[in-house]
Structure 1
């Protein structure tokens, strides 16, 4: 273990999402608290070595107005704008103060919303902002932007930090292509926008979510992100149905991405991207959910057997946007027909009831706030990580996790620092119970959403999370905590594990 950096303690936070140059596109709220927390970490273990790990999605360039899907020539100016934004400047001041301290190390790990951090030009910009020309301070800043994560030791324990999108077929990074862009930037060459093929998650955000977000600022505060989100998006903005061919191909891209993520946290070779020819792993039931499928059935003038046959055919052809079925009048794309019928149903159903049904589909069997739930990120990351790792720390999902894996091994997901909306079964029970929630959502003002309470519970969770791993009295202690107040005090421990 001597081959890896050794610390007396490390502190890990994830999914800060600094970005958004349009009104209400900034989803990070507790900026002062974050600056205070960074200052608090800097003061810990004064005689020891302390690391602060920013575990991905530190920036959110997808919230910026950009041509295309990735900033290339504009990467430096975009990141510089974010760092100078009045909303975030205090965070960068705190990070600069952190690296000014002796025996402090700051680690940047790439996520899927800040892929421009892989470019050497952006890394130099960050070091300049935090350390100026001071080589000692610069040496305290490390970058992990190749998908390798970050490994270190605390006491006798080995820790592995990775964002988590490496195992997410929606949001994997093609690090080989990012390296190619970096080489071009260094060589003074440009990148044709047509050369960059974004992952499915980026396409969903840029092509659909950002447009819906112009009116409904809260849409990307909903978790979890699943295929059923498509139905909720179309209920909010029926014009999105016109993009159904692209939407279905986005879902198909998830399957193609699945082939690539199988190699993310491994030493196997990288395979060229394949065209999507089969998306059978994603079903119509996952896309629409039972409540919206019921809407199609009740609105259709055909009998239910014919509608079920149409849905079955659509499912068989998922990922093949050109597949058609024959109606009595004329041939029509299967998915266009389905979403035409869905939008027809939406014209006949009150919007609050339609959104309630869509959200029930989206949040069905939701285990968002179960910290012990062994979700897909847990399963896939732990399956890919070797038994020599004692503590695994991820982010990406925005969902806290603290799991004892047995045998002195532990898993944490350090959650997020952005707002999270919490829907309950009581809020979605029926049209009457959902109406006050709907009114707040349709008003759309973030300050009203921040203040809203339903059933005595705040709608927006005030939950800013961190993970710490420390050597204490011969044991290594890992904690999932909530940072509270102005961030300058000790975080509230939510779950603690000790490894002897």
Structure 2
């Protein structure tokens, strides 16, 4: 009998709160790294009684998106510079050394450690970062360690395990393009094209909008995963980020064909090239593109990777509307009209124009807090129906129910994998919502949840129309003040398998660490 424990979405990364600061979270999703270390040590201590043990870290173990660049208040959706990526990893390890030490002790005792890549820790796949990761874990000869970083799933008996972002079109990783980056970097050569790998649109949303808004609204990064459902929420909080969100929506529209079109009929789009098609010599053509100063969209780029030519404004507007329609349905048009009306009211001379920038001044002029505490409540009341729909699109009454998966794409994917792959159990992470859902015929979809904090909206907002406005006013006021402990949950869940001598899973459980620790 072998015991397997699966955890995911630890999101180790980001600065802790300054000792003199008022906030408790700092710039982190995970505020309980101590519990992670305790959990791993607990598994290690049970070896003698329970026999061989396996620990699987199912993606987003660390969070590069929470690590700032070398200049303040700047973050990268993908840190392509291997030296800087290693520095970010070293910072993560130094803050939470206890977790990495616990993993080292687990390996020293004979445990098997398996790590899968997520969408917040893509940089772990880079050769020099992988080496630094192994050093941080204390990998030695004889340790049973495996790292799957190329999009492969992991199989335990009749169970399939993967992070799950593969089925989230906003957060799919173009592993083919990423492999080319790794291939060049493995030869200690510079990757000659800034856009040979385009990170997921969800990562762009985190670093370009969410991290910046988080400086004023510390709760905003708890809205997971980063999909179209988050767009109206961000736009409602800070209309000043409309241009950035439109650009990200256009990026999503252009790059989503790089991943799976849907979980049932996998199809990879774009220019999928073989290894020999890619030059490893800096300055030479990459994958048939004759002009190294152009990106994959045929747009001219500058030395810092920014597009020089203006993207067609109507194309960006259409992409933003598409994202809003995916989240708000038939309320999307009204939502945008109301935002336009508010901007016109606040800026009657049109000094800022259509393309509102994301400067601090603009975001505070049009921000949600300004509407709540400013000159008039009329704009706030106009925005209320769409804002409520946006929040209810992010969460519903079933979001935190263990036996119900309200996100159809993950349920469909799990059903497909059971039907076509012959698995009895399919385990995802990514959504930050722990699940154990029956698929019929003794088959189950499980989600490991997260060891990071999650945000649960007040029931008055999700259910009651009559009480929604005052409840939302109070909610945002407390959010703005940094006091959202009443709606912040820490639910350290994991999946536990018992695997028999025949190689099949004989027992599958979704457990909570605090409950297991007291049993």
Is 1:109 aligned to residue 91 of structure 2? no
Which residue in the other structure is 2:401 paired with? Answer: 370
Q: 1:114 to 1:244 in 2, by over 3 A?
A: closer
Deviations 1:6-39 (A, max 9, x none): x711100111111114752111011111111111
Residue 92 in structure 1 maps to residue 86 in structure 2: no
- Contact between 2:170 and 2:228, CA under 8 Å: does it hold in 1? no
Which segment is superposed worse, 345-354 or 159-168?
345-354
Distance 1:372 1:335 in 2: 43
Q: Distance in 1 between matches of 2:456 and 2:511?
A: 19
Q: Which residue of 1 aligns with 2:429?
A: 395
Higher strand share: 1
What is the DSSP-based 3-state SS (H/G/I as helix, E as strand, rest coil) of the residue aligned with 1:426? helix
Deviation at 1:389, TM superposition (A): 1.6
Aligned to 1:78: 88
1:61 is aligned, of 64, 75, 81, to 64
**Equivalents in 2 of 1:210, 1:400: separation in Å?**
25
Verify: 1:464 aligned to 2:492, yes or no. Answer: yes
Contact 2:165/2:430, CA 8 A, preserved across alignment: yes
Counterpart residue number, 1:234 = 235
TM-score for the superposition, normalised by structure 2: 0.73
Residues 70 and 248 (structure 1), Cα distance of their counterparts in 2 relative to 1, 3 Å cut: closer
Equivalent residue of 1:484, what SS?
helix
Name the SS for the 1:96 alignment partner. helix
**Mapped pair 1:12 → 2:22:** no
**Contact 2:59–2:121 (Cα < 8 Å) also in 1:** yes
| Count of aligned pairs between the two proteins | 429
Q: Which residue of the partner structure matches residue 126 of structure 2?
A: 119
Shift of 1:391: 1.5
What displacement does 1:290 show? 6.4
Cα deviation, residue 436, structure 1: 2.8
Q: C-alpha offsets along residues 173-212 of structure 1, whole Å, 9 cap, x if unaligned? A: 1112222222222211123434332221111111111111
Q: Aligned partners of 2:102, 2:382: CA distance in 1, in Å?
A: 45
CA distance in structure 1 between the partners assigned to 2:194 and 2:61 by the alignment: 24
Give the superposed CA RMSD. Answer: 3.7
Contact 1:299 1:344 in 2 (8 A): no
Residue 165, structure 1, aligned to residue 165, structure 2: yes
Distance across 2 between alignment mates of 1:196 and 1:300: 35
* Higher mean displacement: 42-51 or 175-184: 42-51
- Deviation track 1:29-84 (CA, whole Å, cap 9, x = no partner) reads 11111111111122335362211000000111011113643223222221111111
Structure 2 stretches of 5 or more lacking a match? 18-25, 70-74, 273-295, 299-314, 342-349, 358-362
- TM-aligned CA distance change 1:359 to 1:298, over 3 Å: closer
Contact between 2:201 and 2:248, CA under 8 Å: does it hold in 1?
Answer: no
Matching residue of 1:285:
325
- How far does the alpha carbon of each residue in 1:133-181 deviate from its partner, in whole angstroms, 9 at most, with x for none? x3012xx11101111111122xxxx221100011211011111222222
**Separation of aligned partners in 1, 2:356 and 2:473:** 31
Q: Distance in 2 between matches of 1:481 and 1:355?
A: 40
Q: Displacement, 1:229?
A: 2.4
Q: TM-score, normalised by structure 1?
A: 0.75
Which structure 1 residue ranges, 5 or more long, are not aligned? 1-6, 302-328, 453-458, 491-500
